[in-house]
Amino acid sequence: MSIKLDNVSYTYMQGTPYQKTAIREITLEIQQREFVGVIGHTGSGKSTLIQHLNGLLQPTLGEVLVDGVNLHTKSAESKSARRKVGMVFQYPEQQLFEETVFDDIAFGPRNLKLDADTVEARVRRAMDFVGLDFDAFSRRSPFRLSGGQMRRVAIAGVIALEPTYLVLDEPSAGLDPRGRDEIFGQILNLYHTSNITVILVSHNMEDIARMANRLLVMHDGIISLDGRPETIFGGSIDRLRAAGVDVPSVTTLLRKLKTAGLPVLGEALTPEL
Ligand code: ADP
């Protein structure tokens, strides 16, 4: 069980003077139960990459397989494979539209033609995962909630679809530190208490280092590093720099981990020792 990219390239506006190859010949396999962090500079191809994971973008070259099924065969099998991948885009609360929190979270399950009891059970479970009390919130308008609460409603809407793989693009963007900690706490809780696989795009290395058990670094449309976060962050400065990693941020991160009493080695820290 995995998401597999086989030699995937994607070119925007192919055949025009503006054509741009955003990712190049990416071969990657994400196994079920991994928690994968994705980092990289703006424009490195993160968003293009993740939009391939549920078939939103069709590779210009190569193919994407979810649990062995090609996402672009126009078959029922292909459609159900896409449904295994839940996507939370940046600022997902902008897509809330129903009159109540319940209806918004129930929208996806209802589309699957599930019966009312199953829909309610899924809404309750999803609200529980994102820390929203059912009785207090389900009848409220999503538009009268705080920014952090709206975001949780939006994330609950994806969780209610019970995806096998959950892809989140900067889920904490624009939240205050408390809101950020809460969202990440809930994602970690979901990861630890279910069978879900998480793929998390974040510019915040500290969050990734804390949560992910695998790190992908993107640089100019390729995956320049792939490994355990502590191995990557503890690696040689030259290697990090060549892979497009922001070295001062790594140094700050390592210093924080060290202050917190966590064992870190890392060339990026050495000048300070
Ligand atoms: P990231 O998510 O890491 O910021 P993106 O995947 O958004 O990177 O972008 C990768 C490259 O593709 C960038 O050079 C970007 O300008 C280009 N790109 C992204 N979206 C489009 C688009 N809709 N049309 C043309 N080029 C795009």
What is the tens place of the pLDDT at every residue in 182-239?
899 999 999 999 999 999 999 888 888 889 999 999 999 999 999 998 888 887 888 8
Nearest to 160 by CA among 129, 134, 122: 122
- CA-to-CA distance for 85 and 60, rounded, in angstroms? 20
Q: Say what the pLDDT of residue 270 is.
A: 47
Q: What's residue 272's pLDDT?
A: 43
- Convert the pLDDT of each residue in 152-173 to its tens digit: 999 999 999 999 999 999 999 9
Cα 225 to ligand 1 centre (Å): 20
Which ligand 1 atom is at minimum distance from the Cα of 201? 2
Distance (angstroms) between ligand 1 centre and the Cα of 55 equals 17
| Alpha carbon distance 147, 181 (integer Å) | 14
Atom of ligand 1 nearest to the CA of 169: 2
The residue among 178 and 156 whose pLDDT is bigger is 156
Q: What is the pLDDT of residue 267?
A: 53
Q: Which residues does 236 contact at the CB level (< 8 Å), separation at least 6?
A: 267
Question: How far apart (Å, rounded) are the C-alpha atoms in residues 216 and 44?
Answer: 12
The whole-angstrom separation of Cα 131 and Cα 215 is 27
Confidence label for 242 from pLDDT (cuts 50, 70 and 90): confident
Determine which of 88-92, 98-102, 251-255 has the lowest per-residue pLDDT on average: 251-255
Per-residue pLDDT, 124: 97
Residues whose beta carbon lies within 6 Å of some atom of ligand 1? 12-13, 20, 22, 40, 42-48
Helix axes 147-159, 101-111, angle to 10 degrees: 20
Give me the pLDDT at residue 245, please.
Answer: 87
- What is the rounded distance in angstroms from the CA atom of residue 235 to the CA atom of residue 254? 11
Tell how far CA 29 is from the center of its chain: 15
Closest atom, ligand 1, to C-alpha of 47: 2
Q: Whose CA is nearest to atom 23 of ligand 1?
A: 12
**pLDDT value of residue 247:** 79
Which of 221, 173, 177, 233 lies closest to 200, judged by CA? 173
Neighbouring CB atoms inside 10 A of 69's CB total 16
Using one digit for the tens of pLDDT, what is the confidence trace for 121-156?
Answer: 999 999 999 999 999 999 999 999 998 899 999 999
User: What domains does the chain contain, in order, with CATH numbers?
Assistant: 2-84+163-272 (3.40.50.300)
Q: What is the pLDDT of residue 230?
A: 83
- Cα 136 to middle of ligand 1, angstroms: 40
Least confident of 13-27, 170-184, 242-256: 242-256
**37-77: per-residue pLDDT in tens?**
999 999 999 999 999 999 999 999 999 999 999 999 989 99
State the closest ligand 1 atom to the C-alpha of 218, by its place in the atom list counted from 1: 3
Q: Is the dihedral of CA 42, 55, 185, 135 positive or negative?
A: positive
Out of 20, 26, 58, give the residue to mutate to test ligand 1, the one with the largest number of ligand atoms within 8 Å of its CB: 20
The reported pLDDT for the residue numbered 74 is 87
| 18-27, 155-164, 235-244, range with the lowest pLDDT | 235-244
